[in-house]
Structure 1
């Protein structure tokens, strides 16, 4: 498991299309910047105008086309330097999506990032816009999602594997064989993957070298200025919390508010982070199994871990046909992990495991497709390619094979349901063969002078353990809000208690009392 932002635009028009209304701009671009401090040489970026218009041209998948057609959404492109040390050099563009504040007493923009790394902020904002439009948040803030460099609608996009190669990679379970021969084969695959990323991505190694969180927060400060905000309001989920605290460290005087939900521990290296994540999934599986065994037809009788292993381990040698594809062990466990992100998906997981006990795998395959963002036509978002590329540029590679084996053993101990029953593999992942050097190191952020952040942490978060939120709140001189639940992130997802606390913080800066908990 180791291999884990109108006033120069004088009018806004509304175009009715097939019963849907889609916001579109006037012919004149909107210029609000520059606002706030502008780093030397970057005036043209910080003061650029945005040409807001329809969002559908920004869609890179059928799912995005559907989401971007919703009422009140408008999209634009932001130009930024590929390399901030060479602002007169190559430029790239970021895709932006906005739903404007619905009230008269607008505070500014609220930038949103859903994490990953590799997930689309445009998709996240599009999905949040409707439910939040009539809330205090939607009335007081423009909701703005951006696709970080290399991701989604941003150009150029990270490209590593074709759709066909991704399908083939998912069907191949060689990584679970710990033999020397398999280690060599896996490392060769990882070496080839890294080379393909450099060959197939526009600007090649230059793009890969300037893809990380270090550059994303600089892009975000450009966006803050272009949107007309003197100070940043930001909501980051999961890996998006890293973007938030890194921005605070890089631009401490430009922060108004930070909501960080589902925190990453800033001190953990890649191995420690993945093992901690495994612990979270292990606990979530136990919660799921307890719920499942309360149902009359649960497929996990007796010891749930053993029962689960008995269902999925045979897939290592005999994958199950699902149409013209096969459900591999990797897909079955990936589908399981996808369902463990929220207890609302537990019934779907139960159905999938029941099907597997009967020799079929369509539900688990659908869950794995959801995780991998594969649409019904067989096309993939570039989320998984971007995940690897960003992780490799953000953190040091893990080269120590003894450390890799030890981490796999620890992962199997804390998440035994994901133990494939094979010897631990010492295979290094793609980051060991990455063609450019990493640009960050794990460390506690230096945020002296930054307003206190609101950190939200869920007690049984499967992907980002609760204690990481405790530690980040302390590191950010912030305040922890505890949510007692079984899901990954919670703010603006329907919990009234959490949403009220977050709204008060974003609107008037009020932090909850120490020890505040929501259920």
Structure 2
């Protein structure tokens, strides 16, 4: 049986994010009982104990003035006197006259906002962005993520390196039994704070944490910059606390009206389109390993990777199977800058080697050169269990077939069953609700930024979210997934600063070009 590992999780985990369930959206918990959380004072310190890999250590050390702390929040907002969680927070102080705090989320779910704060400061600093002058730049690790306690922990790094980490079936060749799905949940509960902790990982609770953070930081209103999954978090916060929003910029936006199946098929459709654009780039090279005709690139790719389902090949001291190869390719489809690495990896497949594609997966999953992994994949899986609609095995099999039809470059060419939902034995039902953030009243002017060639959060979804929230829309023509914190595009930089600092939204129909 082939299993999805952290090497191959980028083929599926990220595109399975942001899928909603069909239950009615609950109202936010009342603030009664939260006084002690609102009144806490964060104890800022060096960030040495807030990283999990050498890569994070190296990047965060480049940021002068970055400081970290842990904020206490209720594990269960219905019982604020019960167990608590410690939310890891990072801050880079404003260099000039301060507007307030700019709270950020880099995506996922499962992405570290502490590490994301460091990379955001570096990107904005390179662009000489006024955002660093006017805001305390703040990132936090959502509950279950990174340096937050407890953090989701389902597998060891050694198990990840042995390709023994099943996380999901969708978009993969994984075939699960009910015993398999029960075992993974039990394993996660054991090392992640128990069933109660797993039940408290949903986006609605993260949004409540963010409102506590707003108060603790001393901000009357929240200024928020969310990317990818962060646009879901922002939309949920806007739904629950519209009166507390000052400004909200949502970059790489997700359609809050899309349910699970539609969202997932749409995301994989986007990856197929990105694959075809990568293939056209490859076809310009005489030695393109999937041929000089982009129209036949999918079929040529299938010839290369489908044999890996039965016969994995050597890769970085281990093996690369079909799911790992597809995962490596998808990792590189997020940005056109990585397309040459995909081409190199495909050429290696013809030499019976999988090093480059495996490394692409490693890089995206956060594994460092010493073999340490972030908990991105596990947190992603766990948070989605509290957000997404849960499917029956029959529905799962139908969805997998629809995914392969939408993204034929991912088709393994074999008959598969056992597409069971990895959350079927989760200790609590999902809490997000679908649709969410609809008919929000009292929300101030917000801004959605969406790239036309985004491979995983399609531009159409960004348009829809802007319509749903009544947001201004900035369309960015080009390839890539999220752009605002990169600091690489002057047009986007100017629009983001004008909005976040002065609350000036772009004119209707505004565009930038990458």
Query: Normalising to structure 1: TM-score of the pair?
Result: 0.89
Q: Residue 431 of structure 1 aligns with which residue?
A: 423
1:115-170: CA deviation from partner (whole Å, max 9, x where unpaired): 11101011111011133243111111111110001100101111111223333445
Output the CA distance in 1 between the equivalents of 2:254 and 2:411: 24
Output the CA distance in 1 between the equivalents of 2:217 and 2:171: 51
Moved more, 168-177 or 447-456: 168-177
Output the CA distance in 1 between the equivalents of 2:380 and 2:320: 23
Asked if residue 315 in structure 1 is aligned to residue 308 in structure 2, the reply is yes
Output the CA distance in 1 between the equivalents of 2:363 and 2:512: 29
SS at match of 2:337: helix
Whether the 8 Å contact between 1:177 and 1:425 is mirrored in structure 2 is no
The alpha-carbon deviation at position 360 of structure 1 amounts to 1.2
Asked if residue 159 in structure 1 is aligned to residue 153 in structure 2, the reply is yes
Whether the 8 Å contact between 1:300 and 1:308 is mirrored in structure 2 is yes
Output the CA distance in 2 between the equivalents of 1:325 and 1:173: 19
Q: Counterparts in 2 of 1:60-459, with a 5 A limit?
A: 60-70=52-62, 71-103=64-96, 105-133=97-125, 134-169=128-163, 183=175, 185-202=176-193, 204-301=194-291, 302=293, 303-399=296-392, 401=394, 403-445=395-437, 446-459=439-452
What is the root-mean-square deviation in Å for CA atoms of aligned residues? 2.2
Output the CA distance in 2 between the equivalents of 1:472 and 1:228: 29
Output the CA distance in 2 between the equivalents of 1:278 and 1:48: 44
SS at match of 1:515: coil
Q: 1:173 to 1:247 in 2, by over 3 A?
A: closer
Q: Residue 30 of structure 1 aligns with which residue?
A: none
Q: Residue 29 of structure 1 aligns with which residue?
A: none
The alpha-carbon deviation at position 466 of structure 1 amounts to 0.9
Residue in structure 2 matching 1:505, options 485, 499, 508: 499
The alpha-carbon deviation at position 429 of structure 1 amounts to 2.3
Q: 1:173 to 1:316 in 2, by over 3 A?
A: farther
Residue in structure 1 matching 2:51, options 36, 59, 72: 59
Query: Normalising to structure 2: TM-score of the pair?
Result: 0.89
Output the CA distance in 1 between the equivalents of 2:316 and 2:235: 45
Output the CA distance in 1 between the equivalents of 2:91 and 2:311: 47
Q: 1:121 to 1:517 in 2, by over 3 A?
A: same
Q: 1:267 to 1:420 in 2, by over 3 A?
A: same
The alpha-carbon deviation at position 39 of structure 1 amounts to 2.0
Output the CA distance in 2 between the equivalents of 1:339 and 1:2: 13
Q: Residue 16 of structure 1 aligns with which residue?
A: none
List gaps (5 residues or longer) in structure 2: 1-10, 17-29
The alpha-carbon deviation at position 450 of structure 1 amounts to 0.5
Whether the 8 Å contact between 2:95 and 2:134 is mirrored in structure 1 is yes
SS at match of 2:386: helix
Q: 1:167 to 1:140 in 2, by over 3 A?
A: same
1:242-276: CA deviation from partner (whole Å, max 9, x where unpaired): 11010011111100000101112212222221111
The alpha-carbon deviation at position 174 of structure 1 amounts to 12
The alpha-carbon deviation at position 435 of structure 1 amounts to 2.3
The alpha-carbon deviation at position 409 of structure 1 amounts to 2.4
Q: Residue 14 of structure 1 aligns with which residue?
A: none
Output the CA distance in 2 between the equivalents of 1:345 and 1:178: 22
Q: 1:98 to 1:176 in 2, by over 3 A?
A: closer
SS at match of 1:492: helix
The alpha-carbon deviation at position 441 of structure 1 amounts to 1.3
Whether the 8 Å contact between 2:251 and 2:484 is mirrored in structure 1 is yes
Whether the 8 Å contact between 2:270 and 2:458 is mirrored in structure 1 is yes
Output the CA distance in 2 between the equivalents of 1:176 and 1:234: 32
The alpha-carbon deviation at position 433 of structure 1 amounts to 2.2
The alpha-carbon deviation at position 373 of structure 1 amounts to 2.0
Whether the 8 Å contact between 2:72 and 2:87 is mirrored in structure 1 is yes
Q: 1:405 to 1:172 in 2, by over 3 A?
A: closer
Moved more, 437-446 or 354-363: 437-446
Q: Residue 24 of structure 2 aligns with which residue?
A: none
Output the CA distance in 2 between the equivalents of 1:320 and 1:186: 26
Whether the 8 Å contact between 1:241 and 1:260 is mirrored in structure 2 is yes
SS at match of 2:118: helix
Residue in structure 2 matching 1:470, options 448, 452, 463: 463
The alpha-carbon deviation at position 172 of structure 1 amounts to 8.1
Q: Residue 9 of structure 1 aligns with which residue?
A: none
